[in-house]
Structure 1
Amino acid sequence: MNFDEAIAAFEPALPLAVAYSGGADSTALLVACAARWPGQVEAFHVHHGLQAAADEFERHCAAVCERLGVTLRVHRVDARHAPGESPEDAARRARYASLATLASAEGTRAGIQSIALGQHADDQVETVLLALSRGAGLAGLAAMPEIAQRDGLVFHRPLLSVPAEEIRAWLQARDLPWIEDPSNADARFTRNRIRTELLPALDRAFPQFRSTFARSARHAAQAHGLLVELAQQDLAAIGTPPAIAALRQLSRARQANVLRHWLLQAHGCTPSTAQLDELLDQLETCTTRGHRLHIKIGTGFAERRGVLLHWYNPSPPTEASR
């Protein structure tokens, strides 16, 4: 699917906000959406405060929006990561929180529930490769969905089938300016190394890799959805928190599936593979009433309390540390 076809197929609820960084992808998306729905589109810009050039990014976005006749709304945030935290994860969380803040801010067009994001086919491939490099399961291999709900908003990624090169060609043909984020050239970030080293090699070896990776991601998303449905059914049967005897009646694979689901949904906790394997091993030997179970899981602990399996965090994060 080319860029114009992707925009033609995009049918969000209006009015619409476009997450606008000033880069090529979000610029093309903003320009195309503003042309298709004049007067119904606003631009949301997140000033991350991570680079000296951040102020210049904001000025560039303001100039482009003035040229397009589009309202620009800016939210400033300190997206620096905490010790031991991934800089990319910290920036992503700050970005989503800022977009939600902008959508509900005083002065923003009433009724905005749809936000368009500019990720494209190359971004999707990078996400799949990152997931593979980390040994991710189906949830990671599913990569980025075309439509997702978060914080009461609907996020759309209408360009996931469009290669980055085509987006830039679309902008160049219209003499439209964009900015290049210097952090995209920083080889310390795995995603940047994938972009500069792996994608060119894949392009030479497998020219159709963007579409085939996207298809694999969709298959993974479908399979993950089935696992979530099964986990919901199993959790309804074993209870919340889970009854250990009922949990032990499930196969080890279903135990792992329902425990991941319970920990994430009830506690926002994602266990490592090693932690989950240890928990499953202990559940296997948990055959007597006096058997003690207490292991580290994520930021807290899973433990046996009577006939039930509980999870708790002895030191929950304060508001200041979140």
Structure 2
Amino acid sequence: MADALARHVPSHARLVLGLSGGLDSVVLLHALLALRDQYPFELKAVHVHHGLSPHADDWAGFCMRLCASRAVESSVHHVQLARDDAAGIEAAARRERQRIFAALDADFLLTAHQRDDQAETFLLQALRGAGPKGLAAMAELQGRPGWRAAQLRPLLGVPRAALQDYAQSHGVLWVDDESNRDIRYRRNALRRQVMPLLATHFPGSSATLARAAGMQADAAGLLDDLAQLDAVAAIADDRLDCAMLAGLSRPRARNLLRYFIEQHGQPMPSARRLDEALHQLRDAGRDARVCVRLGAMALWRFRGGAYLVPQAPAPAASVRWHGEASLWVPAAGVCVQMDGVIGAGLKRDVLTAGEVTLGVRQGGERLRLHAGGPHRSLKNLLQEQAIPPWQRDRLPLLWCDGRLAWAAGIGFDAELLAEPGEPGVLPRVER
């Protein structure tokens, strides 16, 4: 453990220990205090109270008393978990812990994952069909998007048996979470049934699996290096060049697409979904409208490029304008500012005398941009203006008495434009 501190923790760094009260985290606290003179740092502890066990209050109290006895500042964070969470109670608990950890004002968050945890994670990922990044399991030092602190796992090379020996020799007490014996949870089944059997037939299997995870981490790092090289020519701003993607071998293209998704801070889709996205981006016809949904985001192909954008908001009704200076348009997910002007925008008298609504396109809308000119379909106007397809259905529109009077980024109905010197209303999207 001292080696991990020497590698990563500078003098006087601010450390926060995730303290559950179990064997691993209590031993880590004890060891950190023993090393504090050798490696000067500021140490605090945080306990997440999940409320799932009838003993949860006792565990929190144990952690607070333990920290108080060692003059370590500590805090308890209570979370509410829905037992019917679609992702499962374990995933819900992990999500809430990470939400709390992300907000910690510290240099490092220390967690007590050890070598046997690493071996179990490797096997779980292998059984899910994960690639090198998943099989790399846990890194000793890990930066997470949106976190203030880097996550440090200083016990990752230490077997569970060594922690038990340390606790016995130093008289360390800890609490026991009864849920760790429940083999309905996959990790517990692996830990209590599969790993002991593996150790019987393959002595040292835990260390071997942890070592395999380290080799996969090296492989994942090399794949990231390759993706960065490919990205120099293939990715500009938020656009991934589909022609470049098509020019690479399929494994290399898949690696680049995976990197593109990760750079947007998005969780990796399943292998099947990733392959489907790759197929659509590489092989769809030039004018095909491609949209692959990836959780909260959607991957679009537009004019030879791929873009990862948030999913469209849920359908919402149009809203009526009653003269407000600005109006939230739920269907578009934007606020429209209605500026009073002279000699520009839409005729104020016409708008105030009529029924003005704002919303998004429903299909079939037409707009006359030039006096005496034809009413043209909004669909064609959007295409001519090269408005990306994911923006077209969110584009705020304004109708007056059922007549389309304004389309953001496109223009106004020419017959409703204010004359020079005439009061007008100029709608604009508030950024």
Instruction: Measure how far apart 1:159 and its partner are.
Output: 1.1
2:118 alignment partner in structure 1: 124
Instruction: Measure how far apart 1:255 and its partner are.
Output: 1.2
Cα root mean square deviation, aligned? 2.2
| Structure 2: segments with no counterpart, 5+ residues | 315-431
Q: 1:290 aligns with which of 282, 287, 290?
A: 287
| 2:209 is aligned with 1:213 | yes
Instruction: Measure how far apart 1:178 and its partner are.
Output: 0.3
Return the letter of the residue paired with 1:78.
Answer: Q
Instruction: Measure how far apart 1:123 and its partner are.
Output: 0.5
| 2:49 is aligned with 1:53 | no
| 2:177 is aligned with 1:177 | no
SS of the counterpart of 1:18?
strand
CA contact (8 A) 2:48 2:76 kept: yes
Separation (CA, whole Å) in 2 of partners of 1:276 and 1:113 = 35
1:302 alignment partner in structure 2: 299
CA contact (8 A) 2:257 2:278 kept: no
1:34 alignment partner in structure 2: 33
Instruction: Measure how far apart 1:246 and its partner are.
Output: 2.0
Where do 1:229-244 residues align within 5 Å?
229-239=225-235, 240-244=238-242
The structure-2 alpha-carbon separation of the partners of 1:234 and 1:202, relative to structure 1 and needing over 3 Å to count, comes to same
Return the letter of the residue paired with 2:111.
Answer: L
2:130 alignment partner in structure 1: 136
1:260 alignment partner in structure 2: 258
The structure-2 alpha-carbon separation of the partners of 1:236 and 1:89, relative to structure 1 and needing over 3 Å to count, comes to farther
The structure-2 alpha-carbon separation of the partners of 1:15 and 1:305, relative to structure 1 and needing over 3 Å to count, comes to closer
CA contact (8 A) 2:239 2:307 kept: yes
The structure-2 alpha-carbon separation of the partners of 1:232 and 1:82, relative to structure 1 and needing over 3 Å to count, comes to farther
Q: 1:200 aligns with which of 196, 207, 212?
A: 196
Separation (CA, whole Å) in 1 of partners of 2:125 and 2:261 = 21
The structure-2 alpha-carbon separation of the partners of 1:175 and 1:156, relative to structure 1 and needing over 3 Å to count, comes to same
1:320 alignment partner in structure 2: none
Separation (CA, whole Å) in 2 of partners of 1:70 and 1:298 = 41
SS of the counterpart of 2:240?
coil
CA contact (8 A) 1:20 1:26 kept: yes
Return the letter of the residue paired with 2:291.
Answer: H
Separation (CA, whole Å) in 2 of partners of 1:166 and 1:9 = 17
Separation (CA, whole Å) in 2 of partners of 1:306 and 1:169 = 63
SS of the counterpart of 1:118?
coil
Greater mean alpha carbon deviation, residues 219-228 or residues 40-49: 40-49
| Structure 1: segments with no counterpart, 5+ residues | 1-5, 105-111, 318-322
CA contact (8 A) 2:122 2:137 kept: yes
Greater mean alpha carbon deviation, residues 68-77 or residues 133-142: 68-77
State percent identity of aligned pairs: 36
Greater mean alpha carbon deviation, residues 120-129 or residues 61-70: 61-70
Greater mean alpha carbon deviation, residues 19-28 or residues 8-17: 8-17
CA contact (8 A) 2:85 2:92 kept: no
Higher relative helix content: 1
CA contact (8 A) 2:141 2:150 kept: yes
Instruction: Measure how far apart 1:77 and its partner are.
Output: 2.1
Return the letter of the residue paired with 1:60.
Answer: F
1:75 alignment partner in structure 2: 77
CA contact (8 A) 2:22 2:177 kept: yes
Q: 1:222 aligns with which of 218, 226, 232?
A: 218
TM-score by structure 1 length? 0.86
Greater mean alpha carbon deviation, residues 38-47 or residues 155-164: 38-47
Paired residue total: 303
Asked which structure has the greater RCO (Cα within 8 Å, sep 6+), the reply is 1
TM-score by structure 2 length? 0.66
Greater mean alpha carbon deviation, residues 58-67 or residues 85-94: 85-94
Cα deviation, 1:296-317, whole Å, max 9, x if unaligned, reads: 3334433322222223343469
Instruction: Measure how far apart 1:185 and its partner are.
Output: 1.2
SS of the counterpart of 1:40?
strand
Instruction: Measure how far apart 1:24 and its partner are.
Output: 0.3
1:20 alignment partner in structure 2: 19
Larger radius of gyration: 2
Instruction: Measure how far apart 1:140 and its partner are.
Output: 0.8
Separation (CA, whole Å) in 1 of partners of 2:313 and 2:269 = 16
Instruction: Measure how far apart 1:142 and its partner are.
Output: 0.3
